[in-house]
Structures are given as structure tokens and as C-alpha cells.
Structure 1
């Protein structure tokens, strides 16, 4: 293996499935940041004459010497082109190096090149704290989905940007929903990123207009199940003989009273407990998903759970606030807990967060602006997804209104007497 730079690896290999006349083609494979490209050298050799470890053709024949010189030239040219890109401060990917080596017009960018460059710049923003790791992961997943899509739809590994048509958005959606078995909202998430990548391509001057700019992403509002206060209290008062079930119940209840997702609870340490502006105990952390700061006062039951595990052996040895199991075990135990408590709902950490937003906060008349802050939302529009008014809340509000109207009626009646 040749390593011309910390990020460039070059290796030659025989392509055994493409042999002819007893000889196999030699391909050059080069890898940059785990992205791999292979090209034919247009040279052929018998398998017995090839030294895979030494990366050369064995023997002193004129043919062997000619091929070896050719391979050395290819390797040297790839190193040279790589250094050219590096000196110019341009983004370097395996695809870009391949195009430069083959003399492809630099301005004729491909979809994968565009998303690779977009990804690299996004990663820089993550490193500087401007974007979240979760969002970067979504860009990476979109890149992989697009690779699978172009191979499935067009029977190629990449598409020139200037050949992309508006229909790609609808075709990509169909692929994600049917071939990948994804739901509508997940498909829209990937298409939204595709739109951003193509807008980025326009901004860079690689495209004149965004071919999917007019595509409208439509979302189906998900059904967000939550626990009622009666169900929360059933969990709270239930005694468990098995310690693991009791611990999982406590962690789930803690999420119901703080709104923290599984990964956030898993990462909490005693250092996350701070004294708030009111002199009470708060939890201060950053959401793993978005990097958004969350500051949540500890309600009595949540504080009770924290105190319960203050001297827990596992928590102390791992410097954890609560004894949180792996996600797979955690979900399995939640299913068992629901059965024991007679709760006919599928308990999840998402349900706990929704319970906090609705049952614990909104139904107790906490303003939605405060709920948004407690959930660590960047926009109140996100919080409004949780704000479906329950029938119980409608009944409570109407009862208050009836009493108010009845009082007004009596006041008017007394005034007429």
C-alpha cells in the first residue's frame, strides 16, 4: 500500500471477474477519508505474474518492466494531483481526485461531489459548535440513501449536477417509501437535505437554478401518545420485587418529570445538578440531538428519584446520575413494566417526553413558551406539535367557563331585582 499523504492511500489489484485471454486487468484503488475509487490502468497480467504484496509484475521481461513503469507513473500522477488540490486549498475527495486525474472539467460537478463538499463544510460547523452532530449524521445518511437511489433508479453510481431534473425529488421520495420502507416524514427529511445540497450547488456556481427548489415537502403529523396523570401515578406507586424493573421505572418516571430523552438521561452525571436562580435544584445540560442547552427545575418526584440513587454503587462507580440500562434492555423492561401495571400502551422514552410536555406541563396550565424552554426547543413551532388539547382539558376549561357564565347570570338577575 502506498501512502502519499495521511489521507491518501493507493493500491493496485487484479480484477478477477474481468479477465480475458488468460490475463486479468490491473485496477488502481485510491482511498481518501474512507471514500474509495477504482480505475482501470488498461494493463493486463497473468495472476501468477502479479506480486500483490510488492505491488508489481514479477520477472524481467520487457512487458513486465513496461507495466511496472506505467504503474509507478499512475501512482506518481495521483500523488501530484492530490498535492495540487491541497496547495490550492480545495476540498479533496476520492471522486474529485479521480476527475482531476481523468481531466474532467472541474466545473462539471456531480451530485456525490456536491454532497461530499457540503458534508465536509457541515462537519466544520459541528466542530465549531454551530451545528449538531445529530444533524451531521442526517446529512451522512442522506448521502448513503442517494447513492443507493442513483444505483437503483439510474443504474449508475453518480449523477452530473447539470443532468439532474426536477423529477428526481418525486423519484427519490418513491424510492425511500417503497424500496427503503420508510415513512413519509422520514422521506421528507432526506429530500429536505437534498434540496439544501442543490441550493448549496447553486450558491457555489455549479448550477444555475435548483432543480428541486419548487418541490414542497409535506409532513404527516405523527400520533404522539402520552400517559395520563392516573397512569403516571400508577407507575409511581407500584412496588417491584425485581430491582432492575424498579430502576427502569424510576428512570422512565424521571423522564416523565424532566422531558429528557434516553441519551440525555444516560449521559447525566451529578455535575449536571446545579442551583437555579430560585435557589432550588435544577438540571443543566445540552441536548445530545441538537446541542441546544436545557435547564430544567427538578420537580419533587424527579428530585426524589435523584436522591434515591445518590449512593447507588453502579452510579457512583460510573459517575452517573441514574442507573440507566442499554437502550435495548431498557425498552424490553418498559414493556414488562407496562404489563405489570396494567397500562395498555407501548412505553417508550419518546412517550415519557411527550407526557412531560402535555400531562405534566400543558394540562397544568404551564404556558407554551415555558414548555418550549423546558424542552430545549429552538422554535415554539416545534413545541406546538405537543400542544393538542385533550378532552379532559377541554372539559376542565368548559367547566370553569360554565361557572363563570352562571355567576354572570346571577349577577344580572340580582341587579334586576
Structure 2
């Protein structure tokens, strides 16, 4: 027989048995390619014989490929923060697999509801993540998983039946009375007065800490209404933001116009590190009798609630100024405006009485 060992020795029998088994595997590989409408080539057959088929793809390998593509599209389709989130999600997924399976990776076909449920449990207990933070990491992982489903590598979405509902969080913000008191408070320590001013600037612009820190003088332009406005991009989302400047914000800009740090760097305000700012804000809160835990991010919430929505600015306008990609991101600010609801209903009562 051609391509077979000649003779009846035990060694010849072993060689021929191996060749027959190998030939059978080649036929099976060829059949697999035909059934999956893939090109029948020596390279493809070799990959199948080595176990490199879509059925045997590994979770972390697919995640790696996904993140490489995201990184390549940063600045085009994705913001830098998006890649960082996927990178962190990748690290958590790998750590979970090592914790549960004592391996660095497992096949995609092992993904099921129990995997997702256990991953959620691990994030909350071992990593100490809150419920909403856990869902953020799972949402990142789900996007990778759905890619596998779309490409036919997974027959079923393992997230089916798993609840991804976030808990509503009560976000702190300054009331109009607290904002007024903070504005009028006289600080004897220059450092605290400076931090208060920068915090107030964020209260009247809605800019996040990093966006205030990066704000340059050339980003303040004259708008179509002949008034000054900020034109910048949010660091977090890379979305363009156009902000008409309110009088309080303009006064603060003018106050620091000749500050050495601002003149040398071309920056609008002399912003310290976020850690130092938040430490000083705690001291400022104590001096002002504000019982809320004052952090820089509260300024952004104050702009959304007390300064804009609370004064009747339409949600669509606020959403645009905050740099949100959808109204859904802005709606949670409106939910906490109990005073606004009372005010609106009183107006309705007066109208009905008339």
C-alpha cells in the first residue's frame, strides 16, 4: 500500500496504525472546513489539527485582540479613557480566571451564566467593588462576549438572564444657600481662598477637575452672541464642549489673569493636584459649616442641579454643556431636584387658581 510501512513487524503495524488515524483526522478537519464554509487549505487543516479552531479560542486571547483594536482607534472612534477602562476590565477578568480556575486562560466555550454570576460575586467580594462599579466592568466584558456571539464562536449569550440593573445613587450637590455662603465667605489663608475660587469656577461651568486643570487661555473665545465662552474637549470622553461663561466664572478668570503660574503656563487657573484640592475642600467645608463631604466632583453636580436645571435651563441644553453623549446621563440630576418639583407644582397651582 502506498505511503505505508512495508512488512508485518510490530513497528510497521504501529506506524501504519498511526498513519491511518492521522489520515482520518485530516479528513475530519477537511469536513469541518466544508461545514463551516471555510477555505480548504493546508494551513487551515494544520491549524485544526493543532486545535486552533474558533471552537477552541481562549477568552483572554480574544480580549487581547479586542483591546489592541480599541487602542489603535483611540483619538478616532474612542476616547483614551475608554481604552483604560477596557484595560482594567481585562486585568480583572484575568485575575478572576486565575482565582476560580487556577489557570491563566480558559476556552470561550466555558462561558456560561455561572461564569458571569461568579465573576460578579468575585468583583464585589474579592475586589471590593460596589454594585454599580461591578456592572461597569461586566458591561465592558459583555461587549467582548457579544463579539464572540456575533462571529459564531459562541452559540448563546451567557449574559441572558443576568440582571444588569444599576442602583440609583443619591448625588450630593450644593444648595443655592450653601453656594451663596461659600461665595461670600472670606478666607484669611490665601491657599484656601484660591481652592474655593477654582471650585466655584467648576460650579458655574460644570467642568470636571481634569478639564479645569488643562484649560488654556486660548480656549476662551468670543461666541456668536458676542459673549465669552469656553470651547474645549472633555478629557474623559473626548467630546467637544461649548460653554457660555457666567459672570461669576468670568470674575474668577479675571482674578487670576496675572497669577505667575497662569502667565507662565498659559493656563486659566492655578490648579493644584486633585488630592490637595480635595483635602483643602474638606477644610473649607468645615469653616463654612457645610456638612456634606465636599469634593471637586460635587461642583459639577452643583452646576447641573442648582445652577442650571434648578433655574429652568432645559435638560437638553444642560446635557450639551456637560458633554454628555445622551440625555439619559443627565436625567439622574433632574431626579434629585425636589425643590424644583415643588416650585413647578406651585406655579401650576397658581395657574389653575387663575
2:272 aligned residue: 325
2:115 aligned residue: 168
1:372 aligned residue: 319
Match for 1:112 among 60, 79, 96?
60
User: What is the CA RMSD across the aligned residues, in angstroms?
Assistant: 1.6
**Alpha-carbon offset, residue 309 of structure 1:** 0.8
SS at structure 2 position matched to 1:139: helix
Match for 1:243 among 190, 209, 216?
190
SS at structure 2 position matched to 1:231: helix
Q: Which has the higher strand share?
A: 1
Question: Does the C-alpha gap of structure 1 residues 187 and 389 become closer, same or farther in structure 2, counting only changes over 3 Å?
Answer: closer
| Structure 1 stretch displaced more, 102-111 or 222-231 | 102-111
| Structure 1 stretch displaced more, 194-203 or 396-405 | 396-405
**Alpha-carbon offset, residue 103 of structure 1:** 4.3
| Conservation of the 8 A alpha-carbon contact between 2:277 and 2:296 | no
| Conservation of the 8 A alpha-carbon contact between 1:195 and 1:213 | no
- Please give the alpha-carbon distance, in whole angstroms, between the structure 2 residues aligned to 1:192 and 1:391: 31
SS at structure 2 position matched to 1:180: coil
The answer to whether the aligner puts 1:308 opposite 2:255 as a matched pair is yes
SS at structure 2 position matched to 1:126: coil
Question: Does the C-alpha gap of structure 1 residues 387 and 154 become closer, same or farther in structure 2, counting only changes over 3 Å?
Answer: same
| Conservation of the 8 A alpha-carbon contact between 2:196 and 2:284 | yes
2:353 aligned residue: 406
Q: How many residues are treated as equivalent by the alignment?
A: 306
Q: Deviations over 1:300-342 (max 9, x none)?
A: 0001101111111111112211011001101100000111111
| Match runs of 1:87-102 below 5 Å | none
1:17 aligned residue: none
The answer to whether the aligner puts 1:141 opposite 2:88 as a matched pair is yes
TM-score (norm 1): 0.71
Match for 1:384 among 324, 331, 337?
331
TM-score (norm 2): 0.83
- Please give the alpha-carbon distance, in whole angstroms, between the structure 2 residues aligned to 1:306 and 1:223: 31
Structure 1: runs of 5+ lacking an equivalent: 1-99, 408-417
Q: Deviations over 1:23-53 (max 9, x none)?
A: xxxxxxxxxxxxxxxxxxxxxxxxxxxxxxx
SS at structure 1 position matched to 2:74: helix
**Alpha-carbon offset, residue 262 of structure 1:** 0.5
**Alpha-carbon offset, residue 405 of structure 1:** 2.8
Moved over 6 A (4+): none
| Conservation of the 8 A alpha-carbon contact between 1:118 and 1:200 | no
SS at structure 2 position matched to 1:359: helix
